[in-house]
Chains A and B, each alone.
Chain A
């Protein structure tokens, strides 16, 4: 009987989540954190290495109840790279030829929708800002988000899918609001 129950539950879960892959929506900045950088008199910066580039690295894989979360182009690290470049461009602070550059190592990257009521997003990066071989800043930044999840797999997976840009927004807003980052950008 126990096997029957397990089989039924697994069938329901499979029906609910499906085996499809889902695409994370585009990133948009927290402009309340980004706009002050425009007026802070900062130097233009390039974006150097954003790692790991390996698509099979653990941080470049997110599953939502068995369904794969992808980005429209590249990996989650390239998603973050594009987000940072877009933000620096928006603030008028991006110059791909600048001797000053930001390097990022993605340490943790996950959306967890296994809970019936609450989902959890977690991300952590090691960010360094360097110029001509001199490290101006090296710091770990992280962000966590919680969001409403659902027993129904189809709904929980969609909620996890739409949460990813919020998680990255939260992380980068934390970076832009950090006085140490602003100081190193001068």
Chain B
């Protein structure tokens, strides 16, 4: 308390304190900018699986809940930074397109045990995805990931909630700094596109799901 009173009355000391304050503020700001960053990216696909020439007449449903869509993943970027994203939200369109490329109709339901929704959808199979991811970059100076992997494990149930199959596919994506052009989740997008295509092939290989 006594020191504060002395500083307030001395213009030189006051100026020195202000300089120190500014220096500390700038250091904190630069540290925040350069170190403490978790950068949000989108990994949503642009390219979707194409509709197969021989689609099944069966209808299917899938389960992605609002809680799933809000699951934020945090994985490594470059330069010691992290990236954040919402893989269920970003993968949902690809999942639907993958299923629509094989089956005649695809419907979202909020739970595999929602009997009413299942009956209304007329679904023969219910797909429940579980997503895990990895990302990395060898760069010490830039944060966007240059390598990305998306693993999609899918439980497939019949309308009575009996498990028919468990599928698992992994899509990998890579991108270099020169390619980003404002799209910093590019490696992730490519991984999602690969995973969706791999899922189509895995479903087609599984006899029980025809």
Query: Residues on A close to B: CB < 8 A?
Result: 1, 4-5, 8, 12, 15-16, 20-23, 25-26, 28-29, 31-32, 35, 38-39, 70, 72, 90, 151-155, 158-159, 161-162, 165
Contact = CB atoms under 8 A, between A and B. Distances in A.
B147 interface: no
B39 to A, nearest CB: 5
A8 B37 CA distance: 20
B44 A155 contact: no
B1 interface: no
A1 B181 contact: no
- Chain B's interface size range is 35 or more
Per DSSP, chain B at the interface is mixed
Per DSSP, chain A at the interface is helix
B164 interface: no
A12 B29 contact: yes
Contacts of A90: 96
B36 interface: yes
Interface stretch (B153-161, B170-178, B182-190): B182-190
B124 interface: no
Given A38-B107, A39-B120, A15 B41 contact: no
Interface of B: 15, 18, 22, 26, 29-30, 32-33, 36-42, 44-46, 66, 85, 89-90, 92-93, 96, 105, 107-108, 110, 120, 181-185
Given A26-B42, A153-B33, 16 more contacts: A1-B15, A12-B26, A12-B29, A16-B29, A23-B183, A25-B90, A25-B183, A28-B90, A28-B92, A28-B93, A31-B92, A35-B107, A151-B29, A152-B33, A154-B39, A155-B40
A152 B120 contact: no
Contacts of A12: 26, 29-30, 33
A1 B11 CA distance: 13
Contact of B40 (A16, A32, A153, A162): A162
B46 A26 contact: yes
Given A39-B120, A158-B184, A16 B33 contact: yes
